[in-house]
Amino acid sequence: MTYRIGDILIGQVTGIQPYGVFVLLGGETQGLVHISECTHSYVTDLHEIVRLGDRIRVVVLDIDEYSQKISLSIRALQPDPYVGPYRRKTHFWTNHRTDTGFQPIADVQEQWLAAALRDFP
């Protein structure tokens, strides 16, 4: 069976290592869910998230064209708890209510030029 990036599949957990979870995708094809792709939060022990034999939904992140290794993700199928519906407030570094433009710079430009010419012979 051929897989494509973005495919959502059901696989069976066949191995759990400190760095990730091996998932059988059907037949003899295996993929790896790296520990960083298991959940949105910090993971101390993968055994708390999955168990051997569990059937899990995964999405194909990448397929190495030379070695045919498949990178999978569980996290990509979960909503991100750190992204909220609120809108970030725009921060202005100046007072956006006044319309002075570049006039304050023009007012001191002569002084800056005089000081620069004085410092550099």
> Nearest 5°: CA angle at 74, between 70 and 77?
115
Q: Report the first-to-last Cα separation within the chain, whole angstroms.
A: 75
Q: What is the mean pLDDT of each run of 10 residues along the chain (121 residues)?
A: 88 95 90 94 92 95 90 93 74 70 85 86 65
In a domain, 72, yes or no: yes
Residue 90 is predicted with a pLDDT of 72
In a domain, 87, yes or no: no
Whole-model pTM? Answer: 0.66
Q: Determine how β-strand 30-34 pairs with β-strand 70-73.
A: parallel
Expressed as residue numbers, the domain containing 46 is 8-77
- C-alpha distances out from residue 13 to 19, 22, 46, 67, 75, Å: 14, 6, 12, 21, 15
Spell out the alpha helix ranges (H) of the chain: 103-119
Residue 96 is predicted with a pLDDT of 66
Residue 121 is predicted with a pLDDT of 65
In a domain, 113, yes or no: no
The count of structural domains within the chain is 1
Q: Which residues contact 106 (CB under 8 A, 6 or more apart)?
A: none
H or E stretch including 98? none
With tokens 């030379």, the residue in question is 66
For residue 57, give the CATH number of its domain.
2.40.50.140
